[in-house]
Amino acid sequence: MQHHISLKTYNTFGVDASARNFIEINNEQDLNTFFIQGVFQQEFFVLGGGSNVLFTQDFEGTILKINNKGIQHFIEGSNIFITAAAGEVWNDLVWYCIDRNFPGLENMALIPGSVGASPVQNIGAYGAELMDFFYTCRAFDTYTGELKTFTNQECSFTYRDSIFKTKFKGRFIILSVTYKLRIDNKINTSYGAIETELLNRNITSPTIKDIAEVVSFIRVQKLPDPKTIGNAGSFFKNPVVSHDKLVTLKEDFPTIVYYPFINNTFKLAAGWLIEKCGWKGKSVGDVKIWNNQALVITNTGQATGKEIFKVSEQIIDDVNAKFQVILEREVNIL
């Protein structure tokens, strides 16, 4: 255990905060040791790639950095089961699958973060959702010191949400995740930007590698590289509204961008809402809304977490005032 460690290099916003205690977890035995020592009886936060967190102040508890590694798979009929350690980089897992021609995850290429965070956030992008490929995960119960396996159904997945962010928030530490892919999974090119870029490249029969490369290209064009400009990717969720609410919005805003969701509900493009409120490209000190994607808040210099949070509050207020829609942050606020 280390003490009073700077977290600046452990979060993609590059916010300068410190942790009173800092522990690296390399295997399950480490968790057992710290459980016996009573570490989990005090405040703690599990940190993966640091790509979905905003530190608004120093963390007075213990930061647990998950570093376990390993990917393995087996094939059973048309099913491919892939198990990855929580500390693996998500994009490395995607390319593990692509290199072996295992379809399913290619549309989620280049999503920042770790494998362990994938079921917590129920990540998704470009027409693909983690919950459609998630099979099980193994997790450490910080209340009892026991291991538990969660099935897909037990995770209660909804849009960018899971039981790990609601009922069991802060209780379980995910150690590994198993995904179930199918050899005959169809390539998904339904997302408009993918189809456009495939046409630009004269690709008519894309492979999963083509899809991953195109998705990666699109993401790089739209999102800033956190290695050079501090950010956490999409800061807000796309809000979900009822059919009646959508009809009302379309009357006032005919060009509003939306996508069919589930149970006669619709996802609104949060970036479009934010842009129409005049925030795209706007700066407040060292906090800037990205020029190419209004969903992204960036730290262009030495912005504090509190300053970034304040700007996000102003955006939420402006969107609500204009559209009567409340944006929800996707990023964890500490």
At 172-188, the pLDDT tens digits run 999 999 999 999 888 88
Task: Considering the candidates 106, 197, 213, 330, report the single residue annotated as catalytic.
Answer: 330
Q: Which two tokens stand for residue 272?
A: 């479009």
Count CB atoms within 10 A of the CB of residue 166.
10
Give the CATH fold of the 2-66 domain: 3.30.43
Quickly list H helices, 223-289.
Answer: 243-252, 270-276
Q: Is 160 annotated in the active site?
A: yes
Q: What does the pLDDT look like over 235-291, one tens digit per residue?
A: 999 999 999 999 999 999 999 998 888 888 998 999 999 999 999 999 999 999 999
pLDDT value at position 185? Answer: 86
DSSP 97: H
Indicate the pTM of the whole model. Answer: 0.81
Q: How confident is the model at residue 219 (pLDDT cuts 50, 70, 90)?
A: confident
Q: Which class does domain 71-182 fall in?
A: alpha beta
Sign of CA dihedral 103, 104, 106, 109: negative
Q: Is 234 annotated in the active site?
A: yes
Q: Which two tokens stand for residue 59?
A: 């963390």
Q: What does the pLDDT look like over 73-124, one tens digit per residue?
A: 999 999 999 999 999 999 999 999 999 999 999 999 988 889 998 999 898 8
User: Where in the chain are the domains?
Assistant: 2-66, 71-182, 230-333
User: Tokens 């046409």 correspond to what residue?
Assistant: 199
Distance CA 64, CA 7 (A): 12
Phi, psi angles (nearest 5°) of residue 10: -105, 5
Q: What does the pLDDT look like over 294-313, one tens digit per residue?
A: 999 999 988 999 999 999 99
Sign of CA dihedral 93, 99, 105, 109: positive
Pairing of strands 124-125, 172-182: unpaired
- Classify domain 230-333 by CATH number: 3.90.78.10
Distance CA 211, CA 98 (A): 10
Question: For the chain, what percent of residues have pLDDT higher than 90?
Answer: 63
Distance CA 280, CA 273 (A): 10
Task: Considering the candidates 138, 160, 219, 329, report the single residue annotated as catalytic.
Answer: 160
User: Tokens 């005032």 correspond to what residue?
Assistant: 321
Reduced to 3 states (helix: H, G, I; strand: E, B; else coil), residue 180 is strand
Distance CA 124, CA 279 (A): 25
pLDDT value at position 317? Answer: 97
Cβ contacts of 41 within 8 Å, gap of 6 or more: none
Task: Considering the candidates 219, 234, 312, 329, report the single residue annotated as catalytic.
Answer: 234
Reduced to 3 states (helix: H, G, I; strand: E, B; else coil), residue 78 is coil
Average pLDDT, the chain: 91
CB 211 within 8 A of CB 107: yes
